[in-house]
Amino acid sequence: DVDALDRLLRISVETKNIEIFMKYYQHAIHTYMETNEKEYMEYIVQTAPHLPGENSLRVLNFICLHSPSSSILFLFGSVLHQKKQFKKAISIYQNSLVLDKNADVYHNLGIAFWQNNQKEEANDILVKGIKNFPQDKDMKKTLEMISN
């Protein structure tokens, strides 16, 4: 169950023996794929970014291939973004927007464009995001910041 996975994660991080955790983590992924139980997906999504090395990218890539959704793509883009892999993050965020227009995706995509020195694209996507989500104050602040 999810609590047991969480305990295994803590133990494997403390002992630096991630192989044990990865074995059970893969079990959680397969259980989710077979059952679609929401708690497994939530656990995978919440913990994947904290896996060591490239494991987080491997796990999220696997999930995106087998169960693509806007929220999974957004998370995958966020992990790439945090790892400063801006071009890849941009591509994933754009795919997320195809599935579902979301203010957070527009915002992060604008920031990723900006950090990748694509200033015009950053401006354009934030303007488009604000047009679709006029109540989003964070996007407006970011647009003001990059416009100065």
Over its length of 148 residues, how does the chain's per-residue pLDDT go in tens digits?
A: 667 766 766 676 676 666 766 676 677 667 766 776 666 666 666 677 666 667 777 777 776 666 667 887 888 888 889 889 899 899 989 989 998 899 999 999 999 999 999 999 999 999 999 999 999 999 999 999 998 7
Q: What predicted TM-score, i.e. pTM, was given to this entire model? A: 0.70
Rounded distance, CA 51 to CA 126, Å? Answer: 31
* pLDDT score of 21: 64
* pLDDT score of 128: 97
